[in-house]
Amino acid sequence: MRQERTNLTPASRQRTAAGLLGALIIAVVLALLPVGTALAASLTSMDYATLSGDRVRVTFTFDGTAPEPRSFRTVDPARVALDFEGTTNTSGKRRLDIGVGAVEDVATAKGGNRLRAVIGLTRMVPYDITRSGNTVRVLLAAPGARTASNDSGDGTAGTAGTSTNAPTGARITKVDFTRGEEGAGRVQISLSDPGIPVDVERQGNSVIADFMGAASPDRLHRRLDVTDFATPVSTIETRQHGDGTRVTIAAGQEFEQVAYQADGVFTIEVRPFTPEEQDGKRKEKEYTGEKLSLNFQDIEVRSVLQLLADFTGLNMVVSDSVSGSITLRLQDVPWDQALDIILRAKGLDMRRTGNVVWVAPAAEIAERQRLIAEAQRQQEELAPLRSEFIQVNYAKATQLASLIRGSEGQSLLSERGSVTIDERTNTLIVQDTAANISDIRRMVNRLDIPVRQVLIESRVVIAEESFSHELGVQFGLSKRTSDLTGDGGLIVGGTQGNGYETGTPTGFTVDDSEGLMVDLPAADATSSLGLAVGKLGSYLLQLELSAMESEGRGQIISSPKVITANQKEAYIKQGEEIPYQESTSSGATNVEFKEAVLGLTVTPQITPDDRVLLDLEVSKDSRGDTTEEGPAIDTQAVGTQVLVDNGETVVLGGVYERTKRNDVERVPFFGELPVIGNLFRSRTRVDDNRELLIFVTPRILDEAVNVKR
């Protein structure tokens, strides 16, 4: 093997060493410089120009090639923010007051290796951002304008947050539809370039997406009927619109939509919306963060997470395993929803503790939680056991022990723990780790409280009013039993055979054996008038009128009261037991009893707003008519469930009964004759009124008050 040697002179050796040393110094300096610092430009000036129609153009000038700005916006307050990486402000001013149209001012701030320029607005308006050479221009429309037009040739007007210059040859390659979770419809549009600008707008029951400057093949120009997928989306129509493509999504029911982009796929998700489902979703997940807009192309995930951390002021810790980039466009969405979308798109998850958010891949977080749970389980297995006596004051220790033991893995005890009961002292004896005993004691303190009590007052009121009127008549002939000794006479009395005589004796006496021609007296007559009106041979014609009228008013008030615990049934009775005979199978008789009582049965339930829900039965029974089989029972009762305010009196129910009767008894034919027919008929008129009312008043008793009787 031949060896070659190169001989260096001392001078050449010095020059070589110097060159190596210089190269080493340059390499070290370049290594110590932040990435992008060597080529970064500085902001040298900020100015603005007023255009026609109250439009404003803000210009940022740099001392070199202008960096590509990353922008986002907030709706409340209305702001447009631009981030310039690796840039410093050497213009000498940090604020530019404008006060024209919708633009108030421009303010800059340095944060880390980034310069942020914030354009303050009176209200959010469309804006365009263009970059040309060493300048970045922001064109802001006038208040009330819908789109921002291009000014005199400086760049091309675009959509909010990015230029509308679509990449050369930009096109839509595919339009697809899938059914997502919870019945959502997902329309996925594949783009040849992620930088194609998109404008999404909702019009009534349709969502319109315009892909500006993007062509689409004829095979995609069609209407898809996706009704069979059971989503809010009914049809999807794709067609050429100007120099771009329009996708119209029609929905057949109420919905909400979310649009986002991941790399070269733009997704519009249409979710079903009903009031019931919306209430359920809000309980599960409700986004309450301040709204912002994000429009990035191929931005690193770590960078967009850092941007959200700066926007929210949260301390964010990002795992080293988080990597990759994302293209997204979000308009006026809460920041927490934007974060959720980014995490789902990249398979990430987060955990928040106070003001610190930890972001990592979902699998990494799940593994960490598993390790934490495993460590806690091992710690429980190694923790020493303690024994404690827990005194139970109001509840039953047996019931609390059942709750502590639980069922199907719901026990508050560890695998080594146990609980026993001393029924004599109503005490729980718990043996477990200190942490579990602390949890059990908190549960006992929460449940071992006095049960609230309710006083139920009931009143049964029976009001009666009666009126009765009767008028009757009796007349017939009495046979003469002695000679007439006078020329006439008058007999005054009420009942035949029991009168007395006045005037000259007639010689006639009453023969009680004689019947009456008309016998229609008033029942239970209180007065009567008897007359001898004439004689026919040996017979004396007699007439008796009888009448009765009665009127009465009465009121019966029964007021049972009972106190019971919450959700515990109570009853009270007062009355008599009526005996009756009952035959047995052997033929003998047995004495049984029927209750005729005033009774109240109630189960109260106190609601959280201190009202009382009552399940109650109120009855008032009394002895009725006596029959051959035994006495009957007159029953008056009501059973109901009612919700009553504390201390309020409510009428549970009532019965109003009226008896009105006109009775006429008469002799056929004669009783129908005018005037004289009154001697051949009897009248009875009855008008009785009876009313039953049942009142109830619940009162929640104060726990601090002891009722002593």
Amino acid at 310: D
Q: What is the 3-state secondary structure (H, E, C) of 413-446?
A: CCCCCEEEEECCCCEEEEEECHHHHHHHHHHHHH
- The third-level CATH classification (topology) of the domain covering 383-449 is Ribosomal Protein S8; Chain: A, domain 1 (3.30.1370)
Average pLDDT over residues 556-584: 86
% helix, strand, coil for the chain, step of 5: 15, 50, 30
pLDDT digits (tens, 9 = 90+) for 389-401: 999 998 899 989 9
Tokens 């990015």, residue located: 162
User: Which CATH code is given to the segment(s) 42-140?
Assistant: 2.60.40.3470
Query: Nearest to residue 266, comparing CAs of 377, 188, 176?
Result: 188
Mean confidence (pLDDT) of the chain: 78
CA 334 – CA 317 distance, rounded (Å) = 21
Sign of the four-CA dihedral 43, 48, 49, 54: positive
Tell me: pLDDT of 210 over 60. yes
Parallel, antiparallel, or unpaired for β 79-85 and 88-89? unpaired
Q: How many CB atoms lie within 10 A of CB 682?
A: 23
Maximum distance among all Cα pairs of the chain, rounded to whole angstroms: 199
Selection from 61, 69, 119 nearest residue 89 by Cα: 61
pLDDT of 39 strictly over 50: no
Beta bridge partners of 315: 356
Determine the Cα–Cα distance for residues 22 and 29; give it in Å rounded to an integer: 11
- Report how far Cα 552 is from the mean position of its chain's Cα atoms: 56
User: Using CB atoms within 10 A of its CB, is residue 251 exposed (0-12), middle (13-18) or buried (19+)?
Assistant: buried
Structure tokens at 494: 């009420």
Cα(404)–Cα(400) distance, rounded to whole angstroms?
6
pLDDT band at 646 (very low <50, low <70, confident <90, very high): very high
- Domain regions of the chain by residue span: 42-140, 166-286, 383-449, 451-709
Instruction: Give residue-wise pLDDT tens across range 228-267.
Output: 788 889 899 999 988 889 999 998 777 888 887 776 788 8
Of 13-17, 167-171, 313-317, the poorest mean pLDDT is in 13-17
Choice between 3 and 213, residue whose per-residue pLDDT is larger: 213
26 pLDDT more than 90: no
* DSSP-assigned beta bridge partners for residue 662: 685
Is there a cis peptide before residue 10, judged by omega within 30 degrees of 0? no
Residue 382, C-beta contacts closer than 8 angstroms, at least 6 positions apart = none
Q: Is 584 exposed, middle or buried (0-12, 13-18, 19+ CB in 10 A)?
A: exposed
Report the pLDDT value the prediction gives residue 635, as an integer from 0 to 100: 86
- Tokens at 63, concatenated: 């001392």
What pLDDT is stored for residue 419 in this prediction?
A: 93
Reduce the DSSP state of residue 567 to 3 states and report it: coil
pLDDT band of 196, cuts 50, 70, 90: confident
pLDDT for 456-487, tens place per residue? 998 888 888 888 888 888 877 666 555 444 44
Answer whether the bond into residue 34 is a cis peptide, omega within 30°: no
Cα 352 to the chain's mean position, in Å?
28
pTM over 0.75: no
More confident site: 662 or 7: 662
With a cut of 90, say whether residue 35 has pLDDT above it.
Answer: no
Q: What is the pLDDT of residue 576?
A: 87
- Could you tell me if 186 and 268 are in contact, meaning their C-beta atoms sit under 8 angstroms apart? yes
What are 358-382's pLDDT values in tens digits?
A: 999 988 888 888 888 888 778 777 7
- Binned at pLDDT 50, 70 and 90, residue 161 comes out as very low
Is the pLDDT assigned to residue 403 strictly greater than 80? yes
Helices (H) and strands (E) in the chain, counts: 7, 40
Mean pLDDT calculated for residue range 544-563:
85
455 band by pLDDT with thresholds 50, 70 and 90? very high
Confidence grade of residue 542 (pLDDT, cut at 50, 70, 90): confident
First vs last C-alpha separation in the chain: 125
Question: Do the domains 383-449 and 166-286 match in fold?
Answer: no
Structure tokens at 438: 């602390």
Please answer whether residues 280 and 287 qualify as being in contact, where contact means their C-beta atoms are separated by less than 8 angstroms: no
More confident residue, 544 or 159: 544
Average pLDDT over residues 90-108: 87
Rounded-to-integer distance, Cα 35 and Cα 302, Å: 16
HEC profile for 677-705? HHHHEEEEEEEEEEEEEEEEEEEECCCCC
What are the DSSP calls for 70-125, one per residue? EEEEETTTTEEEEEEET-EE-SS-SEEEEEETTEEEEEEEEETTEEEEEEEESS--
Report which of 515, 504, 505, 511 is spatially closest to residue 481, judged by C-alpha positions. Answer: 511
Query: How would residue 537 be classed by pLDDT, with cut points 50, 70 and 90?
Result: low
- Count CA within 13 A, CB hemisphere, residue 703: 6
- What Cα–Cα distance (Å) separates residue 240 from each residue in 215, 216, 237, 247, 536? 7, 7, 10, 9, 129
What's the confidence (pLDDT) of residue 487? 46
The pLDDT confidence band at residue 665, using thresholds 50, 70 and 90, is confident
In this prediction, residue 359 carries a pLDDT of 92
Per DSSP, helices labelled H in 134-205 are none
**Res. 73 pLDDT band, cuts 50 70 90:** confident
Residue 247: what pLDDT? 93
Mean pLDDT, rounded, for 661-687: 85
Angle between helices 434-447 and 397-405 (to 10 degrees): 130
Minimal CA–CA distance to 692: which of 490, 521, 556, 529?
556
CATH class of the 166-286 domain in this structure = mainly beta
Q: What are the tokens at 376? A: 């806690």
Of residues 216 and 197, more confidence is placed in 216
The residue among 43, 36, 46 whose CA lies nearest residue 113 is: 36
What is the rounded average pLDDT of the residues 2-26?
A: 41
The pLDDT value recorded for residue 25 is 41
Could you give the percent of the chain with pLDDT greater than 70? Answer: 80
Chain CA centroid to CA 17, Å: 82
Residues contacting 279, CB < 8 A, separation 6+: none
Q: Residue 54 corresponds to which tokens in the numbers above?
A: 């109250």
Report the C-alpha gap between 82 and 140 in whole angstroms: 14
Share of the chain above pLDDT 90, in %: 14
pLDDT digits (tens, 9 = 90+) for 268-286: 988 886 556 555 555 556 7
Q: Which has the closest alpha carbon to 266: 339, 136, 176, 368?
A: 176
pLDDT digits (tens, 9 = 90+) for 126-159: 788 888 889 999 988 877 654 333 333 333 333 3
Mean pLDDT of 585-598: 81
Position 149 scores a pLDDT of 33
